[in-house]
Amino acid sequence: MLAEIKNVSKTHESNGNTIQALDNINFSVEDNDFICIVGPSGCGKSTLLRIIVGLERPTSGEVLFKGEPISTDNPKVAMVFQNFALFPWLNVTENIELVLEPLELRGKKAENKACKYIKAVGLDGFEKVYPRELSGGMKQRVGFARALAVEPVLLCMDEPFSSLDALTSQNLKDELLMLWADTSMPPDAVIMVTHNIEEAVYMANRIIILSPRPGKVVADLRIGLERPRNRKDPEFYRWVDKVYSLIV
Amino acid sequence: MIFPKATISEIIGLLEAVNDSGGIEDAARLAADFDLDLQEILPSIDGAELLGFAVVTDGNIELTADARKLLDSGIRERKNIIREKVAGAEIIKELRNKLLESEDHRMKKEDALKFVQERISSDDIESYFRIIINWTRHAGLIGYNSDAEEICLMAKA
Amino acid sequence: MKKGYFILLIIIFLISVTLGFYFFDFFDFPEIELLPYYAVSSFMRMGIAYFLALCFALSYGYIAATNDAAKKLMLPVLDVLQSVPILGFFPAAVLLFINIIPGRPGVELASVFLIFTSMAWNMAFGVYESLTMIPKDLVEASDSFGIRGWQRLESLTLPVCVPKLVYNSVMSWSAGWFFLVASEIISSGSETHTLPGIGSFLIETTYSGKIALMLVGLSVLIIMILLLELFIWKPMQSWADKFTFDYSGEKKPGEFIFSTRILKNSFKLIFETFSKIMVVLYIVFHKFKLLKTILKSFSFIVLFSTIAYLTYIFVNSLIKLILILPPDAYSIPLAIVYSFLRLGVTYIICVAWTIPAAYYIAKNKKASSYLMPLMEVVASIPAIALFPVIVLFFIRYGDMEIAAVILILLGMQWYLLFNLIAGVKTIPGDMENVAASFGIKGKLYWKKVILPAMFPSFVTGSITAWGGGWNTLIVAEYIVFKGQEFHLFGIGYLLDKATFGTPDSGMVILSVISMTVTIIILNKLIWQPLYRKALSKYKFD
């Protein structure tokens, strides 16, 4: 078992009202899990992801990573952001080297590692380019390369494709799955939050469905589709329909 | 000459979608699948055609053998195929030759813009320039240094 | 909520202290009876100057934004005007006004003029910027609905200026208070013209050693500033919010202790009346071609003759200067170096404390809830009003140099601090998340994340801080206290000496010109390239 989400609840205070965002969430993450968390907007799925990576504390319950309570800066857990979150004053390589420095990787070592993951996501040729010159697809590739460069065991992604145009996100999803299929590459497990059900069925081998506020686990499905998956396949659509029916 | 305003990522995304439909798909239906207007995917279709990855007849997009090879390859191998194809595009071939002729294999951005303007007449030459650089960087052929504002040939990796 | 209460609390405290002095005659000063009259006079000066600045800003900005040919001349002129140390020109302006209109009206006019010059330029830039940044779709929309001419003026042109005008008005008023204090006592040569007002009251009481009285005056000034803040600027800012193009829909936290609807409605009424008047003027202007030509030629003649007159004076004195260079002229370069070093040292002190302070205040919600209003209150006190006290203290117990540095610090630091706080607050939350989740902290966090993120606001803050610094320099390097002269060598001293000590109009002009040139060179060489770099490389999308 890689990670365990145990009895996690979260309430927000706003204007004196308490709003319950998450209600007693339980599940565990195993090796080779590609989990997509889906649910209607406002069900607290992004909050849940932030709790899993340690950016927020749950009101009650806990998140264990390899048996230990999660800490925010755990290098074995890395995060990919919806709006890329790249530093505009650092070029592609520097953006990646920045996250290697806390791991005591500097100079040539850091350069080699950054280079390795730049190549892995197909960014070679863009090493010295600043984020503002990159298209959305390229920016998110940097986001992937940065997260992979710390060689995490668990990769967490918050709506990584929703800021991209449709065709680019199609391309990036396929490339991400290629990286996932490559067993020599980190991570061992992925948790991805998305509002797009087809995307979830296309990517995941496990889908966790949350209910509207307060978010509760409604279903935890294993997607038995073969890879590579085809969106035009009737079997694919049966799965999409099934997830839809559980959400509404 | 027209040059399609589509990034390499968009073009590959389009090819993947056509591949899902069995290698041939109606352009309008494809657009509808993505909740897009036909107008919005046209540049990507033109780009796929220009790079020899697709043939368009009567509004049907059909993948070429090269496209299938591209889609069956991993990220590293894809880069090589793209490199070959982008190098074959007319305007990029000319630009490379011009850079090869020049002494230090460099060119000022304004000269490059002029070069592009001569071939693609447009009042939005800047965005064509960005797309061309997107292609050539992807292919590892021509890079652009935004601090020095100049383009240069990239050393073969 | 808290901020409003806080400011109100300070006001009540100051009022009760002041009233205490007033009624219980702790000190038997007859002058205290005149304080309300002084306060009202000063306020009137500010109000008139502001109204003129507003009219100037609207017309100047409008013409610059709509007339391409005019723009080429108007923008650089505005740029130069903005970088001129206004205080330096003041004595010359006073002489001019007194020559044209003798007696108190002339002095009043000079004072209003000085305050005007401290208010007008940034507002004009604000109007220009808002007009050039109207989203294209809005212009197209109004075109497609056939909204033209006066209708467009009422429905689009005036409203878009509101947010920046309000923001710049606040800036202008705080600059205005500074110059108000400076402008109410005007010495030209052997003559000293004193205008009744809170500024002259402060300076006179200090120099005659009536410190308690001066403190009462100071609290009256602060009360005025805070009342304006509470009842005019804050409600006006929240009223202006509805004119912004920001559709993010995020509501700003209410900072008010009372309902501002009545105030907001009155702003609305004033604004509507104002725009109605503008519209009527516009229609009249366009209907009667004759009137238009007459007005145009009239304003042209006025403009032309003023420029001609000023150029005449300028060239005349310049020629005189070149023929007989004043002996002090040779010490100008060295004086500029001295002043520059003085500013530089102060600036380094500013930077050293404001960067960590801004980060702390912006990041600490609890601390900032009481620190911010406190800082704003302290910052609202015009530095110049405190100067006499500081000088008094340091002449007795220390060194004039320290007094000058402290005064310049007061004139510089707030610009930097508030800009930096705003800068830290605009750092996207995701950037913090990246830093937290990838374990970027300590030195690395400051070097690669926070400092670069603060860079744009650091540059804008520094530009205004240096502008404030040069102006403060003029009052900081030379002071006459109880008939005794104290000074520090520098360009401000040379200027003041030529104005107040041994009058020498040639030296005044030379010092102001060399100061202006220095400022412009510094702007072109240092700040503008940095600003461009900040915009291109360090801005978040």
Q: Name the residue of chain B whose CA is nearest to A132's CA.
A: B146
Residue in chain C nearest A152 by alpha carbon: C438
Q: Of B40, B70, B100, which marks where a domain is finished?
A: B70
Name, in order, each residue with C-beta under 8 angstroms of A229's C-beta and a sequence gap of 6 or more. A201, A202, A236
- B132-136, C122-126, C145-149, C516-520: least confident range: C145-149
Task: Check A231 against B20: CB less than 8 A apart.
Answer: yes
**Assigned domain for B33 exists:** yes
Q: Which SS3 state, helix, strand or coil, does residue C4 take? A: helix
**Contact between residue C145 and residue C78 where contact means Cβ atoms under 8 Å apart:** no
B1 assigned to some structural domain: no
CB contact under 8 A, A83 and C428: yes
Residue B2 is assigned to a structural domain of this protein: no
Position C138 scores a pLDDT of 66
Q: Which two tokens stand for residue A110?
A: 């850091």
Q: Is the pLDDT of residue C108 over 80?
A: yes
Cα-based distances in Å from C509 to A208, C7, C325, C477, C499: 77, 43, 12, 18, 10
What residue of A is the nearest CA neighbor of C428? A85
d(CA A109, CA A111): 5
Two structure tokens written together for C176: 């205005």
Rounded to whole angstroms, the maximal C-alpha distance in chain B is: 50
pTM of the model: 0.82
B82 within some domain: no
Given this model, what pLDDT does residue C27 score? Answer: 57
Residues B97 and B146 in one domain: yes
- Residues in chain A with CB shorter than 8 Å from the CB of C449 are 87
Cα separation, C228 vs C177, in Å, equals 12
pLDDT tens digit sequence for A96-123: 999 999 998 888 999 999 999 999 999 9
| Residues 454-513 (C) with a CB less than 8 A from some CB of A | 455
A161-183 tens-digit pLDDT = 999 999 999 999 999 999 999 98
| Chain A positions in Cβ-Cβ contact with residue C441 (cut-off 8 Å) | 73, 102
CB proximity A75 to C under 8 Å? yes
Q: What percent of chain C has pLDDT over 90?
A: 15
> Domain range holding B34?
8-70
Does residue B62 sit in the same domain as residue B113?
no
Q: Is residue B108 located within the same domain as residue B144?
A: yes
**Is the pLDDT reported for residue C255 higher than 50?**
no
**Same-domain status, B114 and B140:** yes
The enclosing domain of B29 has a CATH number of: 1.10.10.10
Give the residues of chain A that fall short of pLDDT 50. none
- Contact residues, chain A, for C428 at CB < 8 Å: 83, 85
Contacts of A117 in chain B (CB under 8 A): none
Residue ending a domain, among B41, B70, B99, is B70
Rounded to a whole number, what is the distance in Å from the CA of A172 to chain B's nearest CA? 8
Cα gap B155→A193, rounded to integer Å = 40
Joined together, the tokens standing for residue C304 give 């032309």
Q: How far is A127 from chain B (nearest CA, A)?
A: 10
* Residues B148 and B92 grouped into a single domain: yes
* Cβ separation A169–B7 shorter than 8 A: no
Residues B105 and B148 in one domain: yes
Which regions in chain B score pLDDT beneath 70?
1, 156-157
Q: Is B127 a member of any domain?
A: yes
Whether B81 is in a domain gets the answer: no
Note whether B93 and B122 are same-domain residues: yes
**Interchain pair C440, A78: CB under 8 A:** no
8 Å CB contact between B52 and B64: yes
Of the residues B43, B70, B97, the one at which a domain ends: B70
Neighbours of A198 (CB within 10 A): 15
Assign C482 a pLDDT band (cuts: 50, 70, 90). Answer: low
- Chain C residues within 8 A of A78 when measuring between CB atoms: 437-438
Q: Are residues B60 and B111 in the same domain?
A: no
**Which of the residue ranges A35-39, C378-382, C411-415, C417-421 has the most confident prediction, judged by mean pLDDT?**
A35-39
Q: Specify the range with the lowest mean pLDDT, choosing from B50-54, C426-430, C505-509.
A: C505-509
For residues A184 and C33, which has the higher predicted lDDT (pLDDT)?
A: A184
- Verify that B136 and B109 share a domain, yes or no: yes
C54: tokens are 């507003």
pLDDT at C2: 55
Which residues of chain A does C430 touch, with a Cβ-Cβ cutoff of 8 Å?
Answer: 81, 83, 85
User: For residue C285, is pLDDT > 70?
Assistant: no
Mutate to test the interface with A, among C434, C444, C457 (most CBs of A within 10 A): C434
Question: So what's the pLDDT on residue C24?
Answer: 61
Q: What is the DSSP letter of A22?
A: E
Closest CA of chain A from C462, distance in Å: 20
Co-location of B99 and B141 in the same domain: yes
Read off the amino acid at residue A232: K
Q: Return residues 123-182 of A near C (CB < 8 Å).
A: 130, 132, 146, 150
Q: What pLDDT, in 10s, does the model give residues C347-402?
A: 999 999 999 999 998 888 787 777 877 787 787 777 777 777 777 777 777 678 88
User: HSE of C518 in the Cβ direction (CA atoms, 13 Å)?
Assistant: 22
Interface probe, candidates C437, C447, C536, chain A, greatest A C-beta count within 10 A: C437
Q: Please state the domain count of chain B.
A: 2
User: Nearest residue of A to residue C448 by CA position?
Assistant: A98
Quickly tell me which residue has 């109605």 as its tokens: C276
List the single residue in A122, A168, A231 with the smallest CB-CB distance to B10: A168
Cβ contact, residue pair B11, A231, below 8 Å: no
Mean pLDDT of chain C: 80
Residue in B closest to A140 by C-alpha: B9
Q: Which residues of B touch A202 (CB under 8 A)?
A: none
ipTM: 0.90
Chain A residues near residue C438 by CB distance under 8 angstroms: 73, 75, 78-79, 98-99, 102, 146, 150
Residues B63 and B12 in one domain: yes
Distance CA C128, CA C61 (A): 4
Taking contacts as CB-CB distances below 8 angstroms, the residues of chain A near C538 are: 88-89
- Does any domain span residue B3? no
Q: Is B66 in the same domain as B100?
A: no
Q: Please tell me which of C53-67, C82-96, C286-300 the model is most confident about, judged by mean pLDDT.
A: C53-67
How far is A108 from chain C, CA to nearest CA, in Å?
A: 18
Answer whether residue B96 is part of any domain: yes
Using a CB–CB cutoff of 8 Å, tell me whether C89 touches chain A.
Answer: no
The partner residue sitting opposite C433, judged by closest CB among A55, A90, A132, is A55
Which residues from A are below 8 Å from B144, CB to CB?
129, 133
Of the pLDDT bands very low, low, confident and very high (cuts 50, 70, 90), residue C250 is very low
Beta bridge partners of B108: B150
Residues of B in contact with A171 (CB under 8 A): 9-10, 12-13, 16
Who among C444, C538, C540 is closest to A101 (CB)?
C444
